[in-house]
Structures are given as structure tokens and as C-alpha cells.
Amino acid sequence: MLQKIKESVACISKQTTIKPQVAVVLGSGLGDFVHEVEVKLKIPYSQIPYFPVPGVDGHEGALLFAFHKQVPLVIMQGRAHFYEGYSMDEVTYPLRVFKYLGIDTLFLSNAAGGMNPDFKIGDLMVIADHINMMPNPLVGEHVPEFGSRFPDMSEAYNKKLIEQAFSSAKKLPVQLKKGCYIAVTGPTYETSAEYRFFRTIGGDAVGMSTVPEVIVAHQMGIKCFAMSVITDLGVPGKIEYLTHEKVKKAAQDAEPKLAMLLKDMIGKVGR
């Protein structure tokens, strides 16, 4: 794995001298953020050795090098998912590469179903904790260079970044919710009984991404911040027939709020 990472890093480093400090991973229908930062270089995933290429509509599949308020960024416009048949190693591979590019902070976004009865479609939920119902990406051979064999997960989501999100939101026309994200493999959406179960065990939102990346990044000592856009409701009485198109549309509608918040937060990330 280390050899592969070095090849990917070498391919990227040949094309840019930008040394990103922050990585941003944009979920389904949430790719417009890239129009709001100063993009210097775009590399399709297909041109980077070993990078998984997402096949899902709504996920662009390009790596962007950019600046926002002088903070150097690497942005993933779209991500590969486990449900596409990629292994956990493949799904989380870009995060390994970003660590070796030198990032110290990771911002992730996703579309998720809301199970908390106080949520409505279009809400933004800061992820404060998670329950992982996907295979763990750290199963398998341990590479000591990445970090502990048994990483602590009691504070996987950086508390300071969570606080910062709420202080940024105060001065923006953005309201934030906070909650626990449950990660499932998909690709099916939930049955009504599954939504009920996930609510009972402590979930506020459910989705098919983010947690593998957070586990891998947290193991490597990267500060993680993640946010869900609530695109549908898994609340008894409010459950509607769900399609990927509806999820994408709801995510796109809420995207400007997410972009505003991310921009404000990234501007405050200092070395």
C-alpha cells in the first residue's frame, strides 16, 4: 500500500507545487462548492494511479487543487462508495494519499436521511459522533506508519471544529443541527423498520459514506469535521417514496448553505 501511495503522490506532485493543508470531500449533489474557491488545477481521478473512480450520477470524479483565503486545499469532487463494489481500502485510499500530501484537516459532506423528529429536509447536521454499520476499513494487515492498530474513536470528530461551525453559523443565515450519523453500506435506502431501529439505537441521520474516511483519517491523526445535508426523512408519518434524484435535488437546494459555512470555517483554519 505504501508503495502505491508514493506513486499516486508522485503523479500529483509532478503536476502542482501546491501543498494542501485541508482536504474537502463533497458528497452527492454537493459539488458546487468548487465554484466558490480559487481552483488552480483539476485532475480527473482516472489519471491518478490507484484512485477509485465513482460511477454514480451526481459524483464528478475529479481532484481539485485550490485556495480559499490563502489556505491551500485539495477537493474531492465526488467519492467512490463501498456499494459500487470498491473495497474499503479503495474507498479510503484518497485519504491515505492526502495524508502523504501533508493535510492536517479534513472536511466531509454527505447527503443523509434524517431520523430525528426535529429535523426537516434541507437541514444541515454537524456530525458529532457515528455508529458504524459498514465493514471497518482498518480490518486487515496493520501498517504501523498509519497509526495505532486499535485507534481510539471516543473523539473522532474534532471538538474545536464543531464549536467553530456553530460560531460561524451564528453570523451566517445558516442554522445547524448536531447529531449522530449511522453509516450503512446501501445501496438500498432504509425500510421503515430500519429507520425506527436506527433511531432507537441513537442515530439522528443515516447515509452510505463518510465513516470509512473518518476512521482512516482519524487513525492517521487528521482532524475531522463532517456534515450531513438532510435530504429525506426516516421519521414515522413522514416517510416518502425515495429516489436518488430526490436526494440529489434536496442536496443541491441546500448546497449554498453548506458552501457558506465551509468557506467561513476553512478561512479560519490556520497552521
Binding window for ligand HPA (CB under 6 A); candidates: 14-22, 73-81, 124-132, 185-193: 185-193
Contact 66, 75 (CB under 8 A): yes
Q: How far is the CB of 247 from ligand HPA (least distance, A)?
A: 5
CA distances from 233 to 32, 66, 123, 250 (A): 23, 34, 11, 11
Q: How far is the CB of 120 from ligand HPA (least distance, A)?
A: 14
Q: How far is the CB of 227 from ligand HPA (least distance, A)?
A: 13
Selected from 247, 254, 266, 269, the binder of ligand HPA by CB under 6 A is 247
How many angstroms separate the CA atoms of 202 and 199, rounded?
5
Q: Is 121 in the site for ligand HPA (CB under 6 A)?
A: no
Return the number of the residue (141 or 240) whose C-beta is nearest ligand HPA. Answer: 240
Exposure of 157 in the CB half-sphere (CA atoms within 13 A): 23
Q: How far is the CB of 56 from ligand HPA (least distance, A)?
A: 11
Binding mask 63-102 toward ligand HPA (x if CB under 6 A, else -) reads ----------------------------------------
How many angstroms separate the CA atoms of 83 and 188, rounded?
9
Q: Which of 16, 4, 18 is nearest to 103 (CA)?
A: 18
The torsion defined by the Cα of 2, 223, 225 and 43, in degrees rounded to 10, comes to: -40
Q: Is 211 in the site for ligand HPA (CB under 6 A)?
A: no
Q: Is 134 in the site for ligand HPA (CB under 6 A)?
A: no
3-state helix, strand, coil in the chain (%, to 5): 35, 25, 40
Residues that bind ligand HPA in the complex, under the rule CB under 6 A: 111-113, 186, 189-190, 206-208, 231-232, 234, 247
